[in-house]
């Protein structure tokens, strides 16, 4: 199988605080992990691509200092939303991919609400 | 921005009916993937297509990779209530997936 977990599934935080979201590949080694953001009734919007041990590559318009991504091991990537604001409220989804294949396997998503 | 045109945007069908949706692009892709997403969940991979002309089935689902490598379709036969959700196509180019806007499937009671 190819199981990806995300934690937490839901988080509510106050404006100005930071929140960390974890993405883990449970039964395979993920050389590449992706972070997406999804607005209601919309498709997935790629935020960044991270390869294990390297700096993440951010998509145009995504602030790398605001959305900190760390991919320190082959099974774990984290996304930290720093100084969160209400407009950062969204559904954040990670995906993971094995080396040499194209399929991405997704986590269950994290619903972030910033009050 | 999106480079895939996915249609229809939504479908209202009766249980038992067959469903068909497709994605087209102005550029070619090396791989086509079809995902299903249910509310509050991440997308789940349904079918992966690697070769132009390839036809692949997964239970009641059948998908084809267009011969021009610019399109793909997904068929669902004899739909059941648990088929409801949003279906996304995705084309692989380089390191990334390019996503369609999704087809929302609603089954009329």
> Is residue B1 predicted with pLDDT exceeding 70?
no
pLDDT by residue (tens digit) across B5-24?
999 999 999 999 999 999 99
Whole-angstrom distance, CA of residue A91 vs CA of residue A73 = 24
Mean pLDDT of A52-78: 93
Q: Encode burial over B7-41: b for 16+ CB neighbours within 10 A, e otherwise.
A: eeeebebeeeeebebbbbbeeebebbbbbbbeeeb
Reported residue count of chain B is 109
| pLDDT for residue B56 | 96
Quick check: B47 and B33 in contact, CB under 8 A? yes
Choose among A58, A66, A72, A25: nearest CA to B96.
A58
Contact residues of B toward A, CB < 8 A: 2, 30-31, 33, 35, 40-45, 48, 88, 92, 95-97, 99-102
The pLDDT of residue B94 is: 82
Q: Which residues of B touch A6 (CB under 8 A)?
A: 42
Chain A nearest CA to B26, separation (Å): 19
With 90 as the cut, is the pLDDT of residue B73 above it? Answer: yes
pLDDT value at position A101?
85
Residue A111 confidence (pLDDT): 97
Mean pLDDT of chain B: 93
pLDDT at residue B12 in the model: 95
SS3 per-residue string spanning chain A: CCCEEEECCEEEECCCCCEEEEEEECCCCCCEEEEEEECCCCCEEEEEEEECCCCCEECCCCCCCCEEEEEEECCEEEEEECCCCHHHCEEEEEEEECCCCCCCEECCCEEEEEC
Chain centroid offset of residue B40 CA: 19
* Position A17 confidence tier, pLDDT thresholds 50, 70, 90: very high
> What was the pLDDT predicted at B11?
95
Q: What is the mean pLDDT of residues A26-35?
A: 93
A46 and chain B: CB distance < 8 Å anywhere?
yes
Percent of chain A with pLDDT over 90: 83
Q: Using one digit for the tens of pLDDT, what is the confidence trace for B78-108?
A: 999 999 999 999 999 888 889 999 999 999 8
Q: Mean pLDDT across the stretch A43-55?
A: 91
Is B95 in Cβ contact with A49 (below 8 Å)?
Answer: yes
Q: Which residues pair with A108 in a beta bridge?
A: none
User: Within 13 A of A79's CA, how many CA atoms are on the CB side?
Assistant: 32
Residue A112 has pLDDT above 80, yes or no: yes
Q: Which of B40, B97, B102 sits opposite A109 (nearest CB)?
A: B40
A5 Cβ neighbours under 8 A, 6+ residues apart = A23, A24, A26, A107, A108
Are residues B102 and A43, on separate chains, in Cβ contact within 8 Å?
A: yes
A111 vs B: CB within 8 A: yes
pLDDT at B2: 52
Q: How far apart are the C-alpha atoms of B52 and B71, rounded to whole Å?
A: 9
Closest residue in B to A5 (Cα) is B42
More confident residue, B109 or B61: B61
Residue B7: predicted pLDDT: 97
User: Which residue do the tokens 């934690």 mark?
Assistant: A7
Asked if A6 is an interface residue toward chain B (Cβ–Cβ < 8 A), one would say: yes
CA dihedral (A72, B35, B85, B12) in degrees, to 10, reads 160
CB contact under 8 Å between A44 and B48, yes or no, is no
């Amino acid at each position: 199988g190819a199981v990806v977990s995300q934690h937490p599934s839901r988080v509510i935080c106050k404006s100005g605080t930071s929140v960390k979201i974890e993405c883990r590949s449970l039964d395979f080694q993920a050389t590449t992990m992706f972070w997406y953001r999804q607005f209601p009734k919309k498709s997935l919007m790629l935020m960044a691509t991270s390869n294990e041990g390297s700096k993440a590559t951010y998509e145009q318009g995504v602030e790398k200092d605001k959305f900190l991504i760390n991919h320190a091991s082959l099974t774990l990537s984290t996304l930290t939303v720093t100084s969160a604001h209400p407009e950062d409220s969204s559904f954040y989804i990670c995906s993971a991919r094995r080396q040499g294949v194209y399929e991405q396997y997704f986590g269950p998503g994290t619903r972030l609400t910033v009050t | 921005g999106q480079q895939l045109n996915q249609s229809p945007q939504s479908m209202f069908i009766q249980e038992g009916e067959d469903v068909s949706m497709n994605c087209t692009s102005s550029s070619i892709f090396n791989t086509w993937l079809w995902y299903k997403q249910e509310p509050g969940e991440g997308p789940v991979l349904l079918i992966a297509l690697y070769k132009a002309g390839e036809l692949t089935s997964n239970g009641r689902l059948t998908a084809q990779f267009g011969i021009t490598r610019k399109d793909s379709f997904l068929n669902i036969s004899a739909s059941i209530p648990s088929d409801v959700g949003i279906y996304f196509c995705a084309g692989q180019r380089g390191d990334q997936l390019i996503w369609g806007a999704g087809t929302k499937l609603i089954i009329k009671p």
